[in-house]
Structure formats: C-alpha cells, structure tokens
Structure 1
Amino acid sequence: MIDIGSLRALAAIEQHGTVIAAAEAMGFSPSAVSQQVKKLEKEGGFAVLERRGRGVLLTERGLALAAYGRRILAELEELESTLLADPAKPTGSLRVVSFSTAVRGLVGPLLARIGQSGAALDLSVLAEDPREAVARVANGEADLGLVHNWNSVPLVIPEHLTLEWLCEDVADVLVHSSHPLARQAEVEPAQLVDERWISTPDGAICNEALLRIFADLGRVPDIRIYDPDFATHIALVEQGVAVALVPRLGRPALPPDVVAVPVVNPIQARQVGLVHRRTMTASPGIRHVAVLLRGIAGSGAAASGPGAPRTG
C-alpha cells in the first residue's frame, strides 16, 4: 500500500526542485525525505527520481505518481476540512502568511477577535510579500494568505486558489511639513517627478507600483533609499531627506512634521484580499477567520487609522 507521507514527499520534491528544498518546506531532514522516496520506490518497484548533476529529476513514472499524489492529497485535505470537522466548532491550527502592513492592520485585530469569540484556533503568522504569500498557500506551506493587488501591478492567482477581496487600501505621498506640497489638498504624478524617494526594495510590488506612477510621463523616480519597512520611510520623511508613497493600512499615527497628501489622476490604491486553497473552502476555521476579517475590513478602521491624510 502506498504511504501518504511518501506521496507528500514526492510532491514536495516536484514543487521545490530538490530534496533539500522539499525537506525545508516540510520541516523534515533531507535524509527523512529521501527515506520516504526510497520507501515509495520499493513499494512501486520502479524509480521515481534520477540524479542530474547535483540535483534530481522526476522520472516519467515519478511525474505521473506525483500528479496522482497531488490529487489524492487535495481530496484528503478537503475531507479533513469538511466531513471530519465540526462546522459549529472552528478548531485547530492555521498557518497565515501576510504582507507586513496587513499584519498590523488586519491580523492583529483578527487575533484579538478570535480570542474574544472563544474559538479554539491557533494561528501562526509569517510576514511575506504577496507573491511569496500566494506561492506558500498554493504549495501547501500556508493555509491562508493576505495579499494586495495594486491597480497598476496585477497579482497572479493560481486556479486552485480562491481569492476574496476585503477592502481597498489607498496610498498617500508623505512629505515633510516644510515641503511646498504639504500645503496642497492633493497632488498629481507630474508634480512628483523631481522628488527624492525612499522605496521598498527593487522588485517588491510596492516598488513596482511607485515606478508605474511615472510610466506615462516617461520618467523614472529618483529613488535614493531602499528599505522594506514603512516605519523607516516615515522616519526619513520626518527628517526631510526623502518623500515616500505609503499605504494607509496599518499605518501608525504620523509625526507632527509628516504630512500625508493624496495622489490623484490616478488615485494610488491597492485591493486587499484573502486567498486559500479551494479544498479548504468549507473548513470551519477558515470560514470563521474570513468572517472576522470581513468585519475588521468593513469597519474601515484598519485602512484609515490615525495616519489618514491631513493637510499642513
């Protein structure tokens, strides 16, 4: 009889490309994963992996078995999340991966409400960029993902995932109170082309959104500083050394010398959503979390807190 653990190991190797990467994703040692594969080969009577340089490739039979394995594992996951779960009692552990500002603006309030609701749910949270979050949920490393999708930078969602939009998160340009733009009610991209910027790292979705603002103007923003933490962006704006594009979700109260000015034509906004595998749709835990997140997002407090725009 084929062991489920062995199928899971083979599917992980196919997804991650190497035994070592699969072991890291599964939380096992490489030798333990190798033993699972050897067990599968012994039970099947044929090789499922072949050496290629320093890595491995799945044989033709290995690829077929991995495909069957993914379907079996998906059905098993659906069974565990529906028929074997009490819909009236959301329990168990959920792995959540979320972008950083949503950890502050959505996940923090979510954890508080779970405690108040009395649900026996245990959440672990990892902060990741939305692309990495989608990948982790897609390959089973996480159960839920909080992601964002800028109006100028679309996020690709695999077919076996479900996406539900929760709220819109508007971004403002932050300037020092002594900056000429601080006295304006709103600002257009053409007025920002000569500014010195701090941005999230090159390749991050928020960095791409900043670049897209100036695409129609045929200009590239003068980015002097790259840092992943929006708190650092706010601090450097306060020091008067740069301006920054910072979303409102999870944004703390701004210092007295930092002014948030809305950007228009176009408005800079991103949609914030929740992703999970379709096999987990009926999971009581996921349904409970989704309901709580809808309430938090719908209240408006998460995306328009004390750092909302003000004029200087």
Structure 2
Amino acid sequence: MIEIGSLRALAAIELHGSVIAASEVMGFSPSAVSQQIKKLEKQTGFPVLERRGRGVLLTERGLTLAAYGRRILSELEELESTLLADPAKPTGHLRVVSFSTACRGLVGPLLGRLASSGADLDISVLAEDPREAVARVANGEADLGVVHNWNSVPLVIPEHMMLEWLCEDVADVLVHRDHPLAGRSQVEPADLVDERWISTPHGAICNEALLRIFADRGRVPDIKVYDPDFATHIALVEQGAVVALVPRLGRPALPGDVACLPLVNPMQVRQVGIVYRRTMAASPGIRHVAGLLREVAASRVAASRVVSESSVVTGSPGVSGLAGP
C-alpha cells in the first residue's frame, strides 16, 4: 500500500525541484525524504525520480503519480478540515503569512482578540510580500495569507485558492513640513515627477505601484533609497531626505515634521484580503480567524472615518486609516 508520507514527499520534490528544497519545506532531513522516495519506488515497482546534473527530475510515471498524489492530499486535507473537525471548537495549529503592515494593523489585533475568544488555536505568523504569501498558501507551506492587491498592480490567485476581501487601504504621499508641497490639500503625479523617493525593494508590489504612478508620463521616479520597512520611510521623510508613498494600514502617528498629502488622479488604493486553499474553506480554524480579521478590519474602517471627519474640521489630512471595500 502506498503511504501518504511518500506521496507528500514526491509532490514536494516536484513543486520545489530538489530533495533538499523539499526537505526544507517539509521540515525533514534530505535523507528522510530520500527514504520516502525509495519506499515509494519499492511499493510501486518503478522509478519516480531520475538524476539530471546536480538535481533530479520526475520520470513520466513519477509525474503521473505526483498528480494523483496531489489530488489525494487535497481530498485528505478537505476531510480533515470538515468532517473530522468540530465546527464549534476551532483547534490546532494555523500558519499565517501576512505582509508587514497588515501584521501590525490586522494580525496583531487579531492575536489579541483570539486570546479572549476561547478558541484553542495556536497561530504562527510569517511576514512576506503578497506574492510570496500566495505561493506559500498555494503549495501548503501556510494555511492562510493576508494579502493586498493594488489598483495598479493586480495580484494573481491560483484557481485552487479562495480570496475574501476585508477592506481597502489608501496610500498617501509623505513630505517634510518645510517641503514646498506641504501646504497642499492634495497632490497629483504631475506635482511629484522631480522628487527624490524612498521605496520598498525593487520587485516588491508596493515598489511596482510607485513606478506605475508615473508610467503614463514616460518617467521613472528618482528612487534614492530602497528599504522594506515603512517606518524607515517615515524616518527619512522626517529628516527631509526624500518623499514617500506610504499606505495607512499599520501606519503609526506621523511625527510633527511629516506632512501627509492625499494622492489623486489616480488615488492609490490597495484592496486587503485573505487567501486560503479551497480544501480549507470549511475549516473551523480558518472560518474563526477570518471572522476575527473581518471584525478588526471593520473597527479600523470605523476609526478611519472618525479621523477623516476630524481632519475636515482641523484642515489637516488624517494620518492613518482604511476604507470599506
């Protein structure tokens, strides 16, 4: 009889391209994964891997077996998350992967609410860019991802995954209070073409969103600093070194020397949501965490409306907040 562990090892090798890479994802030693493959070849009576240079490739029969294995593993996951789970008592370990500002603005408050919800759920969190988050959930390295989708940079979601939107997150331009634009009520891309910028690293979705702002003008923003942490962006704006495009989600109160300017034509908005595999759609743990995240997002939206209303009275833009979906 073919063992589930052997099929899981074969599927991991097909996905990640080598025994070593598969072992790192599975949390086993390479020798343990190799033993699973040897056991699988003994059980089936045919080779499933062949060496190619320093790596391995699946044989034709190995590819067919891996495809069957993925279907079996998906059905097993769905069985475990539905029929074998108590919908009234979410339990177990849930692996969450989230982009950094959502870790601060959504996942942090989620963990606080989870502690008082009575659910026996153990949650681990990894900060990743949305594309990496989608990939980790898609291949089973994580159970739930918190992702964003810029209006200018769409995020691709595989067919075997589900997406639920939580809220919208608006990004503002931050400048030093002595900057010539600091007194404006809003700015447009035409006002910013000659500025010096700080950006998230090249290839990150937020970096691509910044580049797209100027695409129609045939210009590339003059990016002087690349840093993944928006806290660094705010600090360098405070020092008058650069300007920055910073989303409101998870953004702290801005220093007195930093002015916040809404960007229009186009406004920069990213939708924030959660992704998970379709086989986990009925999981009590997924449903419980999704519900808590919706509550957190709704409370953030309500708070942002209060900030926005007060900013109309004071004449200064709000420093943080979200919008409803």
Calculate the TM-score normalised by the size of structure 2. 0.94
One-letter amino acid matched to 2:120 = A
The superposition leaves residues 177-207 of structure 1 with CA deviations (integer Å, 9 ceiling, x where unpaired) of 1111110111000000000000000000000
Against the structure 1 CA distance between its residues 216 and 129, is the aligned structure 2 distance closer, same or farther, given a 3 Å change threshold? same
1:47 matched to which residue of 2?
47
The superposition leaves residues 201-235 of structure 1 with CA deviations (integer Å, 9 ceiling, x where unpaired) of 00000000000000011111000000001000000
1:260 matched to which residue of 2?
260
Q: How does 1:96-115 map to 2 (within 5 A)?
A: 96-115=96-115
CA distance in structure 1 between the aligned counterparts of 2:230 and 2:254, rounded to whole angstroms:
12
**Partner SS for 1:117:** coil
The superposition leaves residues 210-265 of structure 1 with CA deviations (integer Å, 9 ceiling, x where unpaired) of 00000011111000000001000000000000000000000011111011110001
**Partner SS for 1:252:** coil
CA distance in structure 2 between the aligned counterparts of 1:306 and 1:218, rounded to whole angstroms:
38
1:149 matched to which residue of 2?
149
Residues 150 and 209 of structure 2 are in contact (CA less than 8 Å); yes or no, is this contact kept in structure 1? yes
> How far off its partner does 1:301 sit?
5.1
Q: How does 1:238-249 map to 2 (within 5 A)?
A: 238-249=238-249
1:270 matched to which residue of 2?
270
The superposition leaves residues 123-171 of structure 1 with CA deviations (integer Å, 9 ceiling, x where unpaired) of 0000000000000000000000000000000000000000011100000
Against the structure 1 CA distance between its residues 84 and 311, is the aligned structure 2 distance closer, same or farther, given a 3 Å change threshold? closer
1:38 matched to which residue of 2?
38
Q: How does 1:133-144 map to 2 (within 5 A)?
A: 133-144=133-144
One-letter amino acid matched to 1:167 = C
CA distance in structure 2 between the aligned counterparts of 1:307 and 1:217, rounded to whole angstroms:
33
> How far off its partner does 1:300 sit?
2.5
Structure 1 runs (4+) greater than 6 angstroms displaced = 305-309
Against the structure 1 CA distance between its residues 303 and 131, is the aligned structure 2 distance closer, same or farther, given a 3 Å change threshold? farther
> How far off its partner does 1:5 sit?
0.3
Against the structure 1 CA distance between its residues 198 and 306, is the aligned structure 2 distance closer, same or farther, given a 3 Å change threshold? farther
Against the structure 1 CA distance between its residues 168 and 265, is the aligned structure 2 distance closer, same or farther, given a 3 Å change threshold? same
> How far off its partner does 1:304 sit?
3.8
> How far off its partner does 1:295 sit?
1.0
**Partner SS for 1:183:** coil
Alignment of 1:195 with 2:195, yes or no, is yes
One-letter amino acid matched to 2:13 = I
The superposition leaves residues 44-86 of structure 1 with CA deviations (integer Å, 9 ceiling, x where unpaired) of 0000000000000000000000000000000000000000000
CA distance in structure 2 between the aligned counterparts of 1:139 and 1:50, rounded to whole angstroms:
23
**Partner SS for 1:37:** helix
Pairwise CA RMSD: 1.6
1:251 matched to which residue of 2?
251
CA distance in structure 2 between the aligned counterparts of 1:294 and 1:207, rounded to whole angstroms:
27
Against the structure 1 CA distance between its residues 67 and 161, is the aligned structure 2 distance closer, same or farther, given a 3 Å change threshold? same
Calculate the TM-score normalised by the size of structure 1. 0.97
One-letter amino acid matched to 2:133 = A
1:162 matched to which residue of 2?
162
One-letter amino acid matched to 1:289 = V
CA distance in structure 1 between the aligned counterparts of 2:245 and 2:223, rounded to whole angstroms:
11
One-letter amino acid matched to 2:63 = L
One-letter amino acid matched to 1:194 = D
CA distance in structure 1 between the aligned counterparts of 2:235 and 2:126, rounded to whole angstroms:
24
Q: How does 1:88-127 map to 2 (within 5 A)?
A: 88-127=88-127
Against the structure 1 CA distance between its residues 110 and 80, is the aligned structure 2 distance closer, same or farther, given a 3 Å change threshold? same
Residues 165 and 273 of structure 1 are in contact (CA less than 8 Å); yes or no, is this contact kept in structure 2? yes
2:64 matched to which residue of 1?
64
CA distance in structure 2 between the aligned counterparts of 1:140 and 1:302, rounded to whole angstroms:
34
Residues 98 and 128 of structure 2 are in contact (CA less than 8 Å); yes or no, is this contact kept in structure 1? yes
The superposition leaves residues 79-127 of structure 1 with CA deviations (integer Å, 9 ceiling, x where unpaired) of 0000000000011110000000000000000001111111101100000
